[in-house]
Structure 1
Amino acid sequence: MMKPHAFAICAYRDSPYLESCIRSIMTQSTESDVILCTSTPSSYISGLADKYGISLFIRHEKSNIRDDWNFAYYMADAVFVTIAHQDDLYQKDYVKKLLDCYRMYPDMTLFTGGYTVLKKDRPSVLEPVELIKRILRLPLRLRSISHLSWVKKSALLFGNSICCPACAYNKEQLGEPLFTSPYHFALDWDTLFKLSKLPGRFICVERPLLSYRVHEAAATKAAIEDNSRLKEETEMFRKMWPEPVVKVLMHFYRKAYHEYE
């Protein structure tokens, strides 16, 4: 029998933040299954798996964000799967809130919540960008209609307002593979846009359930520097809007990049 929920932690190389992520997951107020997955095995990663009694699964192929995520999703044996990013911290009631929502809305295919940004030089705070994203997520708080495709899409039309590591996917209803997008940076946004067209309800608990860490080695920062973020986000807007609107949206959307400076 599938367990209600599982965290599938994706470990990449020897992140100094991995153990903090594991601790935040192991101290949840509601018990959850936990697995650790990697395509860059090391004694550091296996040592942490042993220390916390977590099953470790190794993908013996070249690292690729889409394939790594799909592998972690596949290895998790649960109704809901959260692809946990190794740099982030989960609030203790994350799983509790998720399962509470699932009991109320059994057609829930996606669960998510708010987040704060964690930077080295200051404690966890609510960034201005996240305040804007809260507004964009407002339609998902209308739970009586959050199963409608246009409601789910509305949270994605002006940018990706949904924080990827805060998401839990209903594996039982969505099946496999989950991530089929060709993108690298906009993989999560493209995936959510695909899921918005499928049956099922998106539920958002509008309170910080995650601390999202920003640091020099973050993949998001690298995507800004090599312009892949700009390219992929522009292409995403083109799927939803005519070109004149895309130019206006990208003008304002690029201002959010300063969050990683």
Structure 2
Amino acid sequence: MKLHSFAICAYKDSPYLESCIRSLQAQTMKSDIILCTSTPSPHIKELCEKYHIPMFIRHGESNIRDDWNYAYHKADSRFVTIAHQDDLYQKDYVETLLKYEKKYPDMTLFTGGYAVIKDDKLARFEAVEFIKRILRLPLRLKAISHLSFVKRSILLFGNSICCPVCAYNKERLGEPLFTSPYRFALDWDTLYKLSYLSGRFVCEERPLMFYRVHQEATTKACIADNSRAREEAEMFKRIWPKPVVKVLMHFYQKAYKEYE
């Protein structure tokens, strides 16, 4: 089995898809790249042909959970990164992942920091990401990052991990990986479940990816239809008593302004 694959999840005709593909092909250590979509189009097909990327079509209604599980399933490798079509990856992402894979054979999740792109420009300071860095501090203690309470600690005040940076150990975690009913909190719910399983979470605390914020992003849509607030509140209720949830949601809803 190959060590790593990027499985791009493509939805409709993103103007950023080609840039994402090019960042994956520019890796210092090459890995497999596949593209999966439930909304095939001439645009997606042309890019796959141009860059010689296998394209897999999932039939049925589009939804994030099933699309991600399909991409995860189609990737034939030990580690799988579900690449989001709007984002860019640092050229040493795979190299860094494989360095830690060699050092920590029990690693079930690899992740890292990220920088934010707004209006096609790198944002200078993002308060949300700064707070998430603080929340991820326990993962810097890699000698104990296999302990369940350490893994859960980074998820108690929200999801401090950016999903597109993650590489999942398919060999250890099996499939389906995503079983959550949520649309927005899908990744948070999944990571919380994974924190109870054996294996190590490893984080490289520097930007390994550039996360793009734009008007068509799913995060923006989830804020607009209030599903983000509802799902985050439900996740907090699983962890904290109601008075604490109320305080946490007060600050979380203020953070939504980052996407305006």
TM-score, length basis structure 1: 0.98
1:128 positional shift: 1.3
**Cα deviation digits, residues 77-119 of structure 1 (max 9, x gap):** 0000000000000000100110000100000000000001101
CA contact (8 A) 1:113 1:207 kept: yes
Structure 1 match to 2:88 = 89
Give 5+ residue unaligned stretches, structure 2: none
1:122 positional shift: 3.1
1:124 positional shift: 4.3
Q: Which amino acid letter does the alignment assign opposite residue 84 of structure 1? A: A
Give 5+ residue unaligned stretches, structure 1: none
Structure 2 match to 1:104 = 103
- Aligned-residue RMSD, C-alpha: 0.8
CA distance in 1, matches of 2:47, 2:92: 23
Structure 1 match to 2:169 = 170
CA contact (8 A) 1:118 1:214 kept: yes
Q: Does 1:119 align with 2:118?
A: yes
1:61 positional shift: 1.0
CA distance in 2, matches of 1:126, 1:147: 31
Structure 1 match to 2:157 = 158
CA distance in 2, matches of 1:99, 1:225: 38
SS at match of 1:125: coil
Structure 1 match to 2:255 = 256
For residues 32-71 of structure 1, the aligned pairs below 5 Å read 32-71=31-70
CA contact (8 A) 2:115 2:122 kept: no
Q: Which amino acid letter does the alignment assign opposite residue 151 of structure 1? A: V
Q: Which amino acid letter does the alignment assign opposite residue 159 of structure 2? A: N
Q: Which moved more, 1:124-133 or 1:87-96?
A: 124-133
Q: Which amino acid letter does the alignment assign opposite residue 220 of structure 1? A: T
SS at match of 1:193: helix
SS at match of 1:239: helix
Matched residues, percent identical? 72
CA contact (8 A) 1:124 1:211 kept: no
CA distance in 2, matches of 1:164, 1:129: 15
